Amino acid sequence: MVNFRQLKGTGNFYFVRHGQSIANTKKVIQGHLNSKLSELGEKQAVQTGRWFKDKNIHTVLTSPLDRARRTAELIAGEAGCSTVEVLPNLIEFNTGVFSGFSLEEAREKYPEDYRNFYLYSWEGVRGAENPRKIYNRALKHWQYLFKLFSTGSTNTVSVSHAGFIQWLIKTTFGHREWLPLFPMTNCGLFHFALDNSVASLRMDKAEKRVSETTGSLAKEETEIYTYKYGWKLINYHVGESAPT
C-alpha cells in the first residue's frame, strides 16, 4: 500500500459509484458492458455533485464506461470542478460469462459457474477478472492519487463501479480476497480523509453512526481511523433511501 505519511498536510480522496444505470434497473450484470444512466441515476449524480459543492474539489477522475463518465460530468458540473479525467484503470472488473445477464439468467445458462460463484465468488466464474489483477489495478490508482496530491490536487473524486471500489478499499488494508464485501448503493460515496497535521489518530479504532433521515436523503456514516498510513475512511451513502 502507498504510505501517505510521506505526504504533508491534509487532503481528501472520494470514491463514488456511478448513478443508477438502465442495466441496473433490469438487474443485469454489466462488467465492461456499457449502459447509460437512468432518469433516477442522473438525479442521483446531480444530488451527489451538490454535496461536493463546498468541498473544494480539484480533480474528478472517472472510468471510461458511460454510466460512470456521465456521473462524473454531472458531479463536476455541480461541484464547480473544471477537470474531468478519464482513466482506464477505474473501469469495472470483467464479470466474465455472467456479463449481460441477470443472476437468475446466469443460473439457468451457466449452472456450474453459478454454483462456483456462491462457493468462490467471482473466482468461480469463467472469464472473470482475477483478484490479483484487480488488486494491482487498485494499487496503481492509489499511486496515481499520491502523485496528484504531491502536485497540488489534494481533493479528488474518483467515479467507478461497485466491484472495483471494493478493491480500492481492500487494497488499503492489503486484503486480497473478495469477501467480505462493503455495502454500496448507486452514488454511494467513500471518503478517505488524509491528515498528517495531527499525530493523535488511533490505530484500528472503528466507529459506526447512522444519521437521521431528512426527506429522501439518508446517510450512513462509518469511520475507520488508521494511524500507520495516515488516512481516515468515512463511508457515506447518498441516495433516495437508507441502504440495506
Three cell numbers written together for 130: 482475477
Residues 23 and 186: their CA atoms lie apart, in Å, by: 12
For the chain, list residues with pLDDT below 50.
199-232, 234-244
Residue 4: per-residue pLDDT: 77
Residue 198: per-residue pLDDT: 54
Three cell numbers written together for 132: 490479483
Residue 99: per-residue pLDDT: 97
Nearest to 122 by CA among 98, 102, 101: 98
Q: Where are the domains of the chain?
A: 4-94+135-237, 96-128
92 flagged as catalytic: yes
Handedness of CA 69, 73, 78, 81 (dihedral sign): positive
Nearest to 48 by CA among 236, 222, 220: 236
Residue 76: other Cβ atoms inside 10 A: 22
Residues 35 and 21 sit within 8 Å (Cβ to Cβ):
yes
Radius of gyration over every alpha carbon of the chain, rounded to an integer in angstroms: 18
Catalytic-role residue among 18, 58, 161, 237:
18
Catalytic-role residue among 58, 78, 92, 220:
92
Nearest to 29 by CA among 132, 109, 89: 109
CATH class of 4-94+135-237: alpha beta
Three cell numbers written together for 142: 492509489
